[in-house]
């Protein structure tokens, strides 16, 4: 493996690793490694998923699980802190800045800074602006490092987001990445000039693993994929399927995923009498998801803004369906219209509008040539805008620029 020119050794930090639903992180890491980037992965907690994507096994980067704060009252913990104060250039000052932070985050940040020093890591990048970025920000202070983070959706929009905390993270980061233009507009309205450093880099797709096929002659099957949580809008999809059933439309619907709403969604299926038409398939490996999508006439992502403010940013599986040739129906939530351009690369309906969703589903199920038209135009957009190599190249350019700025500052100092 030839090191990627001028790019520092990077520590990628996530809350849990691996995560079934976070294929975009795996895809990103694989593309970085293919380009020769030297990468280490750090997780604050182990995975609590029961299923994993098969692509994860191709990632070569070592994974380090940072111990939690259950040792905070032990001599071992104090030994780590004292070692950090003696060896890390910014630890004493950083601990003062961290006095209001959760003890677990401070402890893991100290360990991360020490690991970065030992491994020769010069740069830290976190995914999601929550605990992973908290730890990365503190570790950067302790170790005199540079950091950036990618903000997605829940970490921006959820009611639990502490905006002062997010503001500090944006201010202190060398760069901030987010996954849609909608997110940029939101952050700049919220934080003004501090968010001028935020830039959009879409989650990329490995198109070699997503072969396009024409949807014209596929079975009349609707597929939806995602965590069974409110923001995915699957209750609306089941209600729309009930409307199709009333209209005597011939169809099948498969919902792939797991989550806390499983029992409620199964109850909805029973209530509408859809047991023979709507199937809950549970979580599946990505290869099986792709196989289901290749047999689908329509992909539905009826996303909504949850009562807690939570919402999707731009679902990766929606982009994957577009690449595979599945005509997509989604809603006007956050960054989705940046990919689903109404009547050109898919169909957009208003969120929570069950009648409109049913009409759109019926239209695509009944018009095979229309499915082909939308799928072909969607593929053109995906190839132009969402390729993994072009997007991860842009991210490596962020790393390079931040490192160069840091070196220039050190020289000037």
pLDDT in tens, 244-278: 999 999 999 999 999 999 999 999 999 999 999 99
The answer to whether position 98 is within a domain reads yes
The answer to whether position 5 is within a domain reads no
Q: Which domain holds residue 300?
A: 207-385
Q: Which of 142, 197, 206 is nearest to 170 (CA)?
A: 197
The answer to whether position 4 is within a domain reads no
Distance from C-alpha of 300 to C-alpha of 223, rounded to nearest angstrom: 6
Model's pTM, two decimal places?
0.91
The answer to whether position 2 is within a domain reads no
pLDDT in tens, 28-63: 999 999 999 999 999 999 888 766 667 778 899 999
Residue 2 has pLDDT above 90, yes or no: no
Q: Which of 328, 278, 325, 279 is nearest to 301 (CA)?
A: 328
Same domain, 133 and 186: yes
Domain count, the chain: 2
Q: What's the 3-state SS for 88-120?
A: CCCHHHHHHHCCCCCHHHHHHHHHHHHHHHHHC
The answer to whether position 3 is within a domain reads no
Same domain, 137 and 124: yes
CATH number at residue 97: 3.40.50.2000
Q: Which of 263, 352, 259, 345 is nearest to 299 (CA)?
A: 345
The answer to whether position 155 is within a domain reads yes
Q: Please give the structure tokens belonging to residue 26.
A: 């795996």
The answer to whether position 180 is within a domain reads yes
Same domain, 195 and 318: no
Same domain, 283 and 174: no
Same domain, 379 and 396: no
**For the chain, what percent of residues have pLDDT higher than 70?**
93
Q: What are phi and psi of 367, to 5 degrees?
A: -130, 85
pLDDT in tens, 301-322: 999 999 999 999 999 999 999 9
Sign of the Cα pseudo-torsion (210, 213, 219, 220, in order): positive
- For residue 79, what pLDDT is reported? 73
Same domain, 97 and 231: no
Same domain, 195 and 55: yes
Same domain, 187 and 96: yes
3-state SS class at 413: coil
């Amino acid at each position: 493996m030839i090191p990627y020119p001028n790019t520092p050794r990077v520590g990628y930090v996530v809350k849990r690793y691996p995560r079934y639903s976070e294929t975009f992180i795996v895809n990103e890491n694989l593309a970085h490694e293919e380009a020769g980037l030297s990468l280490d992965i750090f997780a604050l907690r182990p995975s609590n998923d029961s299923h994993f994507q098969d692509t994860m096994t191709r990632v070569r980067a070592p994974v380090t699980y940072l111990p939690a704060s259950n040792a905070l009252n032990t001599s071992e913990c104090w030994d780590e802190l004292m070692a950090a104060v003696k060896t890390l250039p910014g630890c004493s000052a950083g601990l003062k800045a961290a006095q209001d932070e959760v003890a677990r985050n401070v402890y893991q940040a100290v360990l991360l800074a020490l690991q970065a020093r030992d491994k020769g890591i010069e740069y830290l990048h976190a995914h999601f602006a929550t605990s992973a970025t908290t730890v990365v920000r503190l570790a950067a202070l302790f170790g005199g490092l540079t950091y950036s983070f990618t903000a997605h959706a829940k970490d921006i929009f959820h009611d639990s987001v502490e905006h002062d905390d997010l503001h500090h993270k944006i201010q202190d980061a060398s760069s901030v990445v987010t996954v849609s233009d909608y997110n940029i507009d939101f952050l700049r309205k919220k934080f003004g000039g501090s968010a001028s450093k935020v830039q959009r880099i879409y989650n990329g797709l490995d198109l070699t693993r997503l072969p396009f096929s024409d949807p014209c002659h596929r079975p009349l099957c609707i597929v939806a994929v995602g965590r069974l949580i409110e923001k995915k809008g699957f209750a609306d999809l089941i209600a729309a399927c009930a409307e199709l059933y009333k209209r005597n439309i011939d169809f099948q619907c498969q919902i792939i995923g797991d989550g806390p709403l499983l029992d409620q969604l199964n109850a909805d299926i029973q209530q509408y009498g859809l047991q023979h038409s709507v199937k809950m398939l549970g979580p599946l490996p990505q290869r099986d998801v792709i196989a289901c999508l290749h047999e689908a006439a329509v992909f539905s992502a009826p996303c909504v803004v949850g009562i807690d403010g939570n919402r999707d940013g731009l679902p990766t599986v929606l982009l994957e369906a577009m690449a595979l040739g599945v005509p997509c129906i989604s809603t006007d939530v956050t960054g989705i219209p940046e990919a689903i351009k109404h009547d050109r690369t898919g169909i957009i309906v208003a969120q929570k509008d069950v009648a409109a969703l049913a009409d759109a589903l019926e239209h695509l199920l009944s018009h095979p040539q229309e499915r082909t038209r939308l799928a072909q135009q969607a593929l053109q957009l995906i190839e132009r805008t969402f390729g993994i190599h072009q997007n991860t190249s842009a991210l490596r350019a962020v790393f390079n620029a931040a490192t160069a700025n840091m070196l220039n500052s050190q020289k000037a100092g």
